[in-house]
Structure 1
Amino acid sequence: MNINIYYGGRGLIEDSTIYVIHKLTEVLEELRVNVTRYNLYEEKNGIAMLPKTLKEADGVILAVNVEWLGIGGFMQQFLDSCWLYADKEQLEKLYMLPVVIATAGGEREAEGYLVRAWEVLGGVALDGIRAYVEDHIEFETNKTYSLMIEKYAEQLYKAVNQKTKMLPGSNFHMNRQLLKGSFNNLTPQENEQLSVYVSDDTYVKKQKEDIEELAQIFKGMLSNKEEDNEDILPKLVEHYHSIKDTDAVYEIAFTDSDKILTTEMKNGKLNCFYGKGTNNVDVEVKLPSAVMKKVIAGNTTMQMAFMSGELTAKGNFSLLRIFDQAFPFK
């Protein structure tokens, strides 16, 4: 029997997810199971190729650490790659045990997300391990918790070994109907080859250069629309609501123009202007003007746009929520 573990955390010493993985591995290896672990943070340049590792697996463990919200970028990227490149017939045979350890709450939501994602992919999800850990030493030295984790390892072993049947559920079939148009018509071999291309830095770089060239062409054609950004700054000033003891510098770059909007909040005062600021930037945001206008119109928030992929950010992500509090457009 082969079990693959995919760990989506950052590999921090205080991450109790690693302890749970070790405990599960110990029990499974005692049962003569071949366990292979993939640390996604070490495989970040080749995550698109990891779905092919599922071909030899009888079951998988998806393990994540919730540091603030959601399952993390590495695990999301892996699941996206499974959706795009994995052999769907192979996935239907795989049992998945979710492991979610939270240090900031949200473990139930993260586990539910993993379960739903796996069911949409066609796999079978088992009842998983989820826990909120405030003190990792106390958690890892608790014998009762250790025994409970061992039971989950035995549960996974029995499910895979006995090919446990599950009662029918609506999630998989409903999503296959709703998302039918999203499936590509490539064979498993073609999907695997496509994942190789995606992981090839040279190929990806050439694609990015081509896209950038096209983007520059369209920028020239649409340059007259840059004036639309001029009404953003007054709206920010108008809706600013100072937050006590909160200093932050945001650098907002618009991907459809060369404009950069810098927003500095210090001592309850707002300094907002076009161009790069002199202070250290806490968060760098890149987004189209249309998304920024949605934020100003109150149709979305910075944090929601980040979670949905409508914008990218670098720096202290938690300050996106502060931005939404400082500028309550709704």
Structure 2
Amino acid sequence: MKINIYYGGRGLLDDPTLYVISRIENVLKELRVKVERYNIYEHKNEIATLPQTFKDVDGIILATTVEWLGIGGYMQQFLDACWLYGDKEKISNTYMQPIVMSTTYGEREAETTLCNAWEILGGLPCSGLCGYVEDITTFQLNKEYNLIIEKRAENLYRTISQKIKSLPTSNQAVKQSVLRTQQLNLTPQESEQLSKYVSDDTYVKQQKEDIEELATMFKDMLGQQASTDDMPYIKELEAHFIPLREFKACYSFNIEGIKNPLYIKVDEDKLDIHYGEEDIVDVYAKFSKSIMESIIDGHMTFQRAFMTGEMTAKGNFKTLRMLDQIFPF
């Protein structure tokens, strides 16, 4: 029989959980059980690979310490890794005993959290141990407490060796009928490989850089396409421009549906057309896209659009009338 112990505390010298799992280890070894302990804080950069250590175990012990609230970050990350990368088929046949010692309030809630998590993962939780420890020395010297710890270890051994079943719980029912958390449909081998990649900081960093590079490339491509779509009519106006000697003017067209105004600056044979706000403007005009397209198609003129009220304008009206001469469509 093999049992792994996963310790989710910080490894402090006066951590009562360390004393409890040490006593449990001794009892299990006397029963000829192979015991291997994993201090999660020592594997914090490779927590994603820890679920792969379930391969040849018959049971596990999840041990943690409540220092202020809950099961602690290391244990939570470990359970997350079990959910994401663990072999669910193996977990479904693995017994788990929760061990929670507390130096503050909340050991019972933490024990329940571990049991619930293991049930949702599909595993087999068994009777655990939780307690509040105010003084570690008094706790260690109390023979009755030590006897309770030893009995819990023996119960775990008996449960695994006899493969004792437990009654069904609502957690399993909820998982089967309600819980719909998206999971990767991977084989155990693929999950193991993925967990190794996830725990490899160099690989993850390279992947992030590659993703950022691709994102930037696609943004640039989309930006180029968007810039072309957001600047209509410029090519048509440039193609039909007829320069007039000694004529200078600046126009600003506010076209409905386009965010920025279309700015046209004419300086004899020089033409500057772009979208944006400018300070120097001789004529402001406002009209719809359909009117602009009718003008470009030759079905309408700037003067006619103004006279029919389909285009509103303010500024120098003599300069406005010159539009049809410098842009004959």
- Please indicate the TM-score interval, normalised by the length of the shorter structure: 0.5 to 0.7
Shift of 1:45: 0.8
Q: Which residue of 2 aligns with 1:142?
A: 142
* Distance in 1 (alpha carbons) for counterparts of 2:141 and 2:217: 60
Q: Which residue of 2 aligns with 1:196?
A: 196
Structure 1 unmatched ranges of 5 or more: 220-330
Provide TM-score, normalisation by structure 2.
0.64
* Distance in 1 (alpha carbons) for counterparts of 2:163 and 2:65: 29
* Distance in 2 (alpha carbons) for counterparts of 1:214 and 1:40: 35
**Distance change >3 Å, CA 19–CA 215, structure 1 → 2:** farther
Q: Does 1:176 align with 2:173?
A: no
Q: Could you tell me which amino acid in structure 2 is paired with residue 155 of structure 1?
A: N
Secondary structure class of the residue paired with 2:43: coil
Q: Which residue of 2 aligns with 1:72?
A: 72
**Distance change >3 Å, CA 212–CA 11, structure 1 → 2:** farther
Q: Which residue of 2 aligns with 1:116?
A: 116
Q: Which residue of 2 aligns with 1:44?
A: 44
Alignment of 1:4-43 (within 5 A): 4-43=4-43
* Distance in 2 (alpha carbons) for counterparts of 1:116 and 1:218: 44
For residues 246-284 of structure 1, the C-alpha deviation after alignment (integer angstroms, 9 at most, x for no partner) is xxxxxxxxxxxxxxxxxxxxxxxxxxxxxxxxxxxxxxx
Contact 1:95/1:125 (<8 A) preserved: yes
Q: Pairwise CA RMSD of aligned residues?
A: 2.1
Secondary structure class of the residue paired with 1:9: coil
Alignment of 1:273-284 (within 5 A): none
Q: Could you tell me which amino acid in structure 2 is paired with residue 7 of structure 1?
A: Y
Contact 1:97/1:126 (<8 A) preserved: yes
**Distance change >3 Å, CA 216–CA 147, structure 1 → 2:** farther
Contact 1:120/1:176 (<8 A) preserved: no
Shift of 1:216: 8.5
Q: Which residue of 2 aligns with 1:266?
A: none
Secondary structure class of the residue paired with 1:57: coil
Provide TM-score, normalisation by structure 1.
0.64
Q: Does 1:82 align with 2:82?
A: yes
* Distance in 1 (alpha carbons) for counterparts of 2:181 and 2:110: 26
Q: Could you tell me which amino acid in structure 2 is paired with residue 95 of structure 1?
A: Y
* Distance in 1 (alpha carbons) for counterparts of 2:176 and 2:215: 34
Query: Is the deviation greater in 167-176 or in 188-197?
Result: 167-176
Shift of 1:163: 0.3
* Distance in 2 (alpha carbons) for counterparts of 1:76 and 1:211: 28
Q: Could you tell me which amino acid in structure 1 is paired with residue 160 of structure 2?
A: V
Q: Could you tell me which amino acid in structure 2 is paired with residue 185 of structure 1?
A: N
* Distance in 2 (alpha carbons) for counterparts of 1:176 and 1:137: 46
Q: Could you tell me which amino acid in structure 1 is paired with residue 163 of structure 2?
A: K
Q: Which residue of 1 aligns with 2:102?
A: 102
Q: Which residue of 1 aligns with 2:164?
A: 164
For residues 2-29 of structure 1, the C-alpha deviation after alignment (integer angstroms, 9 at most, x for no partner) is 0000000010001010000000000000
Secondary structure class of the residue paired with 1:42: helix
* Distance in 2 (alpha carbons) for counterparts of 1:154 and 1:25: 11
Shift of 1:159: 0.5
Q: Could you tell me the percent identity over the aligned residues?
A: 62
Secondary structure class of the residue paired with 1:6: strand
Q: Could you tell me which amino acid in structure 2 is paired with residue 180 of structure 1?
A: R
* Distance in 2 (alpha carbons) for counterparts of 1:22 and 1:162: 24
Secondary structure class of the residue paired with 2:41: coil
Structure 2 unmatched ranges of 5 or more: 220-329
Contact 1:60/1:96 (<8 A) preserved: yes
Secondary structure class of the residue paired with 1:41: helix
For residues 24-49 of structure 1, the C-alpha deviation after alignment (integer angstroms, 9 at most, x for no partner) is 00000000000000000001111100
Q: Could you tell me which amino acid in structure 1 is paired with residue 92 of structure 2?
A: E
Shift of 1:182: 2.0
Secondary structure class of the residue paired with 1:147: helix
